[in-house]
A and B are shown apart, each in its own frame.
Chain A
């Protein structure tokens, strides 16, 4: 029992809180400066959504942890907070504010963790008059293998990009062949091979890749730059037949590539990961308002028709700046538009923890106000006597 008490005392101690806060302060500062070099997305991954920040030698492939990452600091702070609520803080009405603040912070940390783990962000691009029933996540790719044999029902088998990144052989029950990853490029550059320059090596033996050379590139760091993911895949029949050859698939290759195996027709395409919905959204009208006599944008708005046969919900909605549309766990935001002003780009976020910050904010604000009002009353009362020297 004594041992448990001591242990609880240590993990609930104010010193541990201070260490966590100081570490968080340092991490946020360094992580902000690092964005100049690495860009926002890589910093998020390496500094804030990680257990450790790793340092790796430029030449070798060993790496050592140099500082706790965002998840580790957050987790320790969370344990420290919960322990101090149980063990150290007194449950007295004068401390009600303190309790509320810390309870709110716990909700915020848990909500933040849930968001990091479970939230999915994607985009839906709709032209005026068009209807879409899926959104796309361009930061994640999938290899779409489509069975084209029956033109009425195209059956798609999707292989996530992360599986391709692991390499090896991909075996799926729905496919009569294996896919062997012969090359994987997180960021790459493709070049058409022209007749004169004889020394360029074709990326693959079949498909468009037979006329294209590929080069690996370091990952993109700028906010508006994206990696070009590519892979070289070999198709080997599952029944042990001879290999059909290799294909190059890449983000920048818009068209699917076809091949035939035992009388059935297939296509391969690397594309943004798709999330299908049970309902459709059509764009009726997109408007782009500017201030009179200027090019300064005043508002962007999309008039959308929702068609949900399953729930028998058919109506019009207006999505515009600062006014998203929430439907069945998805939230649609006005995010961008096509340069000709007749197409809209909606951001689609599915975040089960999205309410946590609202609740946390209310709790912490209440707590802070309660405590500081209490403090201010005492402060003013004590200040008065000093006024008459």
Chain B
């Protein structure tokens, strides 16, 4: 019953906008970030640390907005996806 986060995200439906990332991060700011709290806060594991460097991907984003508050360094730029793209809940 206990599932890895990737497996759980696999249950959720998306229509990914391959041409537009609705969230962007500024690598230069992330490099100097003292906490990388986004890695803990994001419920969809969009933020991970790889070899001491922050890695971000928007494809699994469930559009909760948590990272826009978690990031207090001014790196995260948050917009809504366009034209209904992104997460599509079947239950909600």
Decide whether A and B are members of one complex. no
- A residues apposed to B, CB below 8 Å: none
